[in-house]
Amino acid sequence: MIQAGATMSAVPHNKRKRLQSILIKPAGPDCNMNCNYCFYLDKAALFPQAKIHRMSEEILEETIRQCLWAEPDQLSLGWQGGEPTLMGLHFFEKAVEFEQRYGRNQIIGNGLQTNGLLINRDWAKFLAKYKFLVGLSLDGPQHIHDRYRILKNGKGTWSEVADKAKLLLDAGVAVNAISVVTDYSVQFAEEIYDYHKQLGLSYMQFIPCFERNPAIPSEPAPFSVPAEGYGKFLCRLFDLWTSNFVQSTPTTSIRFFDSIFYSYIGLEPPECTLGRTCGVYLVVEHNGDIYSCDFFVTPEWRLGNILEGNLLYMLNSKRQQEFGLRKARLPGECLKCAWLTVCRGGCPKDTVSDGENGFINHFCASFKMFFEHADAKFRHLAQEWKERQARQMKVDRTVSPQKPSRNDPCPCGSGLKYKKCCGKT
């Protein structure tokens, strides 16, 4: 195998990133829906050699082989698109077969992000058997979901997707609701939250929509969520989330809030938008091309190809380091902001020109509004968590002097693995 130019020799050993997460797009930008706000459909222009884009078994095997060679402990594989289920169930059965063949007793987590249209009982049985975490794209009740998530003929998809959510849940599949917050849905925080709960989707991820207007690139696309509206959405959602706590413990999970909580207890947040830098994972396209980030699948940020290079080397390449450090180059307004340590400037894809300070995040005003609203509660929750942690550690030292292993649940009761909690601090 050819090793693509760069090696890791220039990267100090203690600063080398581990390949613990990778995003795989086996059907590339292909999709059986035509959502108005989708940013990825246009990526087909990068692959003009064919109208239909499908990952070969050779590329699939090499991707999994390299991933499991690179990471000795714990690996997360995200299967995304476009729509990954266009590959058919056999492709994913083959993926699991390769994971079993090349695995070395690692913990392997598979996550499938899908629009749900092709899911049937066979899919549900497979996903439950191999413990796939499914992120189901469901924007909320019918009038919200069908606003933008439509077929090529303009027909809405809510009824079918809602049925598939029930099918997956009934089969015992772990399902997260993935909801895009748009100019329309931003008005309905409570309705969306209650809808997901009633459907049985207690794990939720909300993605603020921001795309540029193709006709006027300096302006947001019409479906993009306004900054002020998104700030109010987050505040209302936070109040709903905390109102459902039982004995200071959440009964629903909202990924953004969960990630922010990490910062308040002194841990590294799992969401890359909240980190000092980014570039902590790689994207594998259907043809084996490797990119720096899902939002930067562009020729500029193509790092190589899986059949010609090494994933771990590409993750630690000078080019990927440059990509990650771009996030840390924040404007002066961010550097003097009271919320810098919990915000970190947001996602670089959402930066816009402000005419004075150069560039700033489109959602800057949203985040300021939200942290001013939620900070006191987060601090209170963090203090309670630390007190519980201290009490539990005291009990554990009394009951048993044995130290937990890295992948054991942390004895403090946080719900995190020991290596991600007390074993880290």
| Active-site amino acid positions | 294
Q: Give the C-alpha separation, 390 to 383, whole Å.
A: 11
- Strand stretches in 25-139, DSSP E: 74-79, 107-114, 133-137
Torsion of CA 179, 183, 188, 191, to 10 degrees: -30
Phi and psi, residue 389, nearest 5°: -60, -45
- Class of residue 95 by CB neighbours under 10 A (exposed 0-12, middle 13-18, buried 19+): buried
| Number of other residues whose CB lies within 10 A of the CB of residue 32 | 16
Q: What crossing angle do the helices spanning 364-399 and 255-264 adopt, rounded to 10°? A: 60
Phi and psi, residue 32, nearest 5°: -95, 10
Amino acid at 235: C
b/e map 35-45, b = 16+ CB within 10 Å? bebbbbeebbe
Nearest to 315 by CA among 288, 347, 283, 363: 283
Which structure tokens are listed for 307? 């059949």
Amino acid at 309: G
Nearest to 179 by CA among 160, 154, 162: 162
Nearest to 290 by CA among 264, 320, 254: 320
Nearest to 25 by CA among 101, 100, 86: 86
DSSP 302-326: EEEETTTS-HHHHHTSHHHHHHHHH
